[in-house]
Amino acid sequence: MDRIVVTGGHKLHGEIPVSGAKNSAIKLMAASILTDQPLRLTNMPRLADTKFLGQLLRQFGVTVTETGQGVDQETLFDAREITSTFAPYDLVRQMRASFNVLGPLLARTGHAKVSLPGGCTIGARPVDLHLDALTRLGALIELDEGYVSATAPKGLRGAEIEFPFVSVGATEHTLMAATLAQGTTVLKRAAREPEIGDLARCLVMMGARIEGIDTDTLVIEGVTSLTGGEWSVIPDRIEMGSYAVAAAMAGGEVRLTRGRADLIAALTDRMVEAGVEVTPTDDGVIVRRDPGVRLKATDIATEIYPGFATDLQAQFMALMTTADGTSIIHENIFENRFMHAPELARLGADIAVHAGEARVNGVEFLHGAPVMATDLRASVSLVIAGLVAEGETSVGRVYHLDRGFERLEEKLSACGAQIERQHGYHDEH
């Protein structure tokens, strides 16, 4: 098992290129099922999650070909012939987003059998909304021993669907299925995350007819088939935000490139309020901070986009552990998403959690200790805290981190961080 070891006290100076967005790439990969023509995705991240989904697509007969390295990474998907519509538990359990192959398989072939998902343990995230929406589109669905069996022998048909609450996964899943449904589908209370806009624009490039992109009402006029093409994955706003927080935590000056400042505005607004200097550029931001001056405690509350992203909450909490004063952090998206708080406390942080609120009383210093990653975003918050902790911080169970961060040690090391990956140690947690 791997762990990441960080020696704190080193300022960051340099440039970090932002990778393609994981949360967009995996849905674009699922969209490749909708066409029998090749789909080429550029700016593709190489992550555990994209690897898992690539294995699942191959299970269906899709040819997946990766080329290039670094900023030139791309992947070609060729689903000209779907040879299987069965998604087994041992593949789907590794990443809950892989459940989103159900809709494309159903729309393309008229039937599919997909395992119910697994993934990070950050609260109950049922797939009821997904199944309800597909049922509204005419699918016949049965649940049997942990599998969803769905058929649409006469094809899917358009419908008006109003989600009871905003759901990114259900919006994306229904959007993909509706592109090949007969007639018009209207999705109300749709999520507006940038990754959904990226998916919708790629589908339009492939021949889909979608109106209302980036709004909470999507109108999809079904077409009989989609084409292939080439699409560049949107920059990863969560990776970008994480490195922005890392630069603010350690101090120094870091230029984040190949990104978009507007995608992390809710975060950088709070960072500026805390005393960090953030300068937008044509392709990202420059983050500067004098490590000799303590940051000011700043409150946040997670919200649906364009509010403060829940996927950046753990990172911001790490930043606030050494701020001057008390920060109040409200988590409004997922329950059970403060599992990183006890691990930050092992580094000397003073955090009190009650239900969906965390009070972070800033301390002057953190100290290195062994800690354990509990989920994807929590794992990087521990690395960020380790950048300033006195001595050595070792982060275990970094397979969580590998699901969403590409070449993290390499990118931080290039800016002066003392960080390394160690292989084959025994996890005592």
Residue tagged active-site, from 120, 134, 208, 373: 120
Is 289 known to sit in a ligand binding site? no
Is 299 known to sit in a ligand binding site? no
Is 283 known to sit in a ligand binding site? no
User: Would you tell me how many other CB atoms lie within 10 Å of the CB of residue 164?
Assistant: 10
Is 288 known to sit in a ligand binding site? no
Is 127 known to sit in a ligand binding site? yes
**Residue of 28, 51, 55 whose CA lies nearest to 41:** 28
120 in active site:
yes
Is 126 known to sit in a ligand binding site? yes
Is 101 known to sit in a ligand binding site? no
For β-strands 184-188 and 160-162, DSSP reports them as parallel
**Residue of 359, 309, 368 whose CA lies nearest to 338:** 359
Is 419 known to sit in a ligand binding site? no
Is 128 known to sit in a ligand binding site? yes
Strands (DSSP E) found in 268-396: 277-281, 284-289, 300-301, 326-330, 350-354, 357-361, 370-372, 392-396
Is 22 known to sit in a ligand binding site? yes
CA pair distance 374, 354, nearest whole angstrom:
19
Annotated binding site for UDP-N-acetyl-alpha-D-glucosamine: 96, 125-129, 311, 333
List active site positions.
120
Annotated binding site for phosphoenolpyruvate: 22-23
Annotated binding site: 22-23, 96, 125-129, 311, 333
